[in-house]
Structure 1
Amino acid sequence: MSTDTFPLLDHPLSVQLRNDICQGATSFGIDLTEAKADLLTHYVLLLDKWNKAYNLTAIRDPKEMVFRHILDSLSIVPHIVGDYILDVGSGPGLPGIVLAIIYPEKKFTTLDSNGKKTRFMQQAKNDLKLDNLTVANSRVENFEAPQPFDAITSRAFSSLVNMVDGTKHLLSTSGVYLAMKGLYPEEELKELMDRHEIELVGCEPLNVPGTEGDRHLVILTNRH
């Protein structure tokens, strides 16, 4: 893609950011096309630009954004199922916008109650021409969708109980919750199982290049 289409790719850091994204993606078994690598790089530069004025993320260094945000989001790519995916508490679009870039054939909705974050996501949708992305500004418990979702993702979003409480009306009967967590959430899982007819499918450790600390993906489904 030309820098006429994505002028931020003229940024002096763009080559390094792009290389770090591609190398990180390869470590997950993801072979990025040039177009997708450009989209992810432009997204980082756009986030960095908006962050200076709107404080969208505590991470200020775009190089760190690659590891802490982009590669962290890419780590769950192998677990994405279905055609309709909701990302709750999406913030500036993590992991929802990253996943929408990777899976242009799937339909993604990113949901957040913070107006400045949803305005940024709408701008990113427009700039990156993500026709498969819908941005919603709403509290999750008030949000209604035209059809149930096959998967609901979350990253740094409240507790598992609150996630399920807020989104159970949005998940299809055979759908899955994909909750990104740090340490293994033993207490949260115990509280959830005590209160809901939810089945734990698995809790997968996530190894994200360039980051420290434990990362886990909690996979849940409705008990049938």
Structure 2
Amino acid sequence: MDRLPLAERYAELLAGAGVVRGLIGPREAPRLWDRHLLNCAVLGDLVPHDATVCDIGSGAGLPGVVLAIHRPDVRVTLVEPLLRRTTFLEEVVAELGLANVEVVRGRADTLHGERRFGVVTSRAVAPLERLLGWSMPLVEPQGALVAMKGSSVDEEILAAADVLNQLGCGSPEVVILGEGLLSSTTIAVRVPWADPTRVSWPLPPTARPRRRPDHTRRKQRRNA
């Protein structure tokens, strides 16, 4: 099945309602394909066939919705705490008829101990040091965190050394995607478990994700 019409319609929704609702900056609309859609699509190279995928802090659906369009074999869960964003995501899923997508309103840590996925992904959510604590409890023993990162990925890995050890993670792998295909390549970091036979819940207290201050969470709820 040709999925391009779905991607084109998603781009229209991002450039229209996405901009109006403040999910995409107005300046991003003219460069949605190069900077956002195609850059997210190549992340599919790191997603196994028939995998379950969790996109935390999904926002406007990047990269989760793109992966669901590009890879109809995978099942994608979009996790986002803000109401205005989950409303948009639900509208996108309905408009595009994406039967392989579910939208969950909430923080990633509300799923800890309840759900696990083959791949947990994210884009521009947090430095790796914090992202690990939110993501790894959702990763199946044979799965991995696969996060889109920027040029500072090596520094983030160094800063996260203690957390990687506390959580029992394997060695992070930095992968450059889209070389020879995209004008701007995608940088991703893949983090598996060091020993899949020893993955358990709950995590050690020192390795659990840090919560934002109460006033920050209250402000976020007001903005929903």
Identity of aligned residues (%): 25
1:93-143 CA distance string (max 9 Å, x none): 001001101222221001111221111110000000001100111111223
Q: Which runs of 5+ in 2 are unaligned?
A: 196-224
Separation of aligned partners in 1, 2:108 and 2:115: 15
Give the equivalent residue in structure 2 for 1:202: 173
Equivalent position of 2:104 in the other structure: 136
Aligned partners of 1:107 and 1:133 also within 8 Å: yes
User: What is aligned with 1:162?
Assistant: 130
Partner of 2:12: 45
Offset of residue 83 of structure 1: 1.8
Q: In structure 2, the residue corresponding to 1:216 is in which secondary structure?
A: strand
2:35 to 59, 68, 73: 68
Aligned partners of 2:132 and 2:163 also within 8 Å: no
The reply to whether residue 120 of structure 1 matches residue 88 of structure 2 is: yes
Partner of 1:28: none
Pair 63,168 (structure 1): closer, same or farther in 2 beyond 3 Å: same
State the alpha-carbon separation in 2 of the partners of residues 89 and 106 from structure 1.
19
Shift of 1:181: 0.7
Other-structure match for 2:23: 56
Secondary structure of the residue that 2:72 maps to in structure 1? coil
What corresponds to 1:174 in structure 2? 142
Give yes or no for contact 2:42–2:186 (8 Å, CA) kept in 1: no
2:184 maps to 1:216:
no
Amino acid at match of 2:131: M
TM-score calculated relative to the size of structure 2: 0.77
Structure 1 residues 155 and 52: CA distance shift in structure 2, 3 A:
closer
One-letter amino acid of the structure 2 residue matched with residue 219 of structure 1: R
Structure 2 equivalent of residue 86 of structure 1 = 54
Q: Deviations over 1:155-198 (max 9, x none)?
A: 11101121110122211111111011110422221232222321
Contact 2:118 2:144 in 1 (8 A): yes
RMSD: 1.9
Give the 3-state SS of the residue equivalent to 2:142 in structure 1: strand
Contact kept? 1:151, 1:176, Cα under 8 Å = yes
CA distance in structure 1 between the aligned counterparts of 2:95 and 2:188, rounded to whole angstroms:
30
Deviations 1:53-84 (A, max 9, x none): 20101244533111111011012111112521
Is the alpha carbon distance of 1:220 and 1:48 closer, same or farther for their aligned partners in structure 2, counting shifts above 3 Å?
same
Give the number of equivalent residue pairs: 189
